[in-house]
Amino acid sequence: MPVVWAALAIVCAISLLNLVLTVAVIRRLREHTELINQGRAQSPAQGEVTLPAGTRVGEFRAVTGDDRTVTRDDLRQGMVVAFFSPRCPTCVEQKPAFIRYASGLSGGRDDVIAVLLGSPEELEGLREELSGVAQIVIEADVDGEMSTAFGLRGYPAFCLMGEKGVLSVTGFQVDVLPESAVL
């Protein structure tokens, strides 16, 4: 009988050690996830998410959800172009601020283009949320025409257009966009 108790004590000790190690691994994974998310949300000074401000975007031709064709020549001064993906936690965090910002623009949704990256099925909810404040362009991935023209290297990305297709302001967070653009 003492052998059974000894074996049971060993199994309990191993199980307890396994539980402690599992909790430690989970805690470490959470820390890593936060570090990764912070890296995605870094400021433009730490790394550009698109072409830098002062650069003219490349040529592109895209069709919005309203069947309007958009090219670089359609980008007017003061327009906002944003890039989102449903797989991006920072995109989810920045979406409410973007909706508030875009809702305050005097030109309404005609002055805002939201480029959504992913399959139409996974973008359906995001498309519905943003279609009230922005013209929607869907691209499968960062190899799409608009993503390539803007030099997209991460998301979310927020761009304020200057004259003649030149980027005035770019960044990972909505707060890089000037309040003066909201009229």
Q: Are residues 32 and 107 in the same domain?
A: no
Q: Are residues 58 and 101 in the same domain?
A: yes
- Predicted pLDDT of residue 42: 42
What pTM value is reported for the model?
0.73
Which residue range forms the structural domain that includes residue 59? 47-175
- Predicted pLDDT of residue 8: 87
pLDDT 10s per residue in the chain (183 long)? 788 888 888 989 899 989 888 988 888 887 777 666 655 444 444 458 899 999 999 999 999 999 999 999 999 999 999 999 988 899 999 999 999 999 999 888 899 999 999 988 899 999 999 999 999 999 988 889 999 999 999 889 999 999 999 999 999 899 899 875 544
Q: Are residues 87 and 111 in the same domain?
A: yes
Q: Are residues 71 and 26 in the same domain?
A: no
- Predicted pLDDT of residue 182: 44
Is residue 82 within a helix (H) or strand (E), and if so which, with residue range? strand 80-84
Domain count, the chain: 2
Q: Are residues 171 and 141 in the same domain?
A: yes
Q: What is the CATH number of the domain that holds 144?
A: 3.40.30.10
Q: Are residues 17 and 33 in the same domain?
A: yes
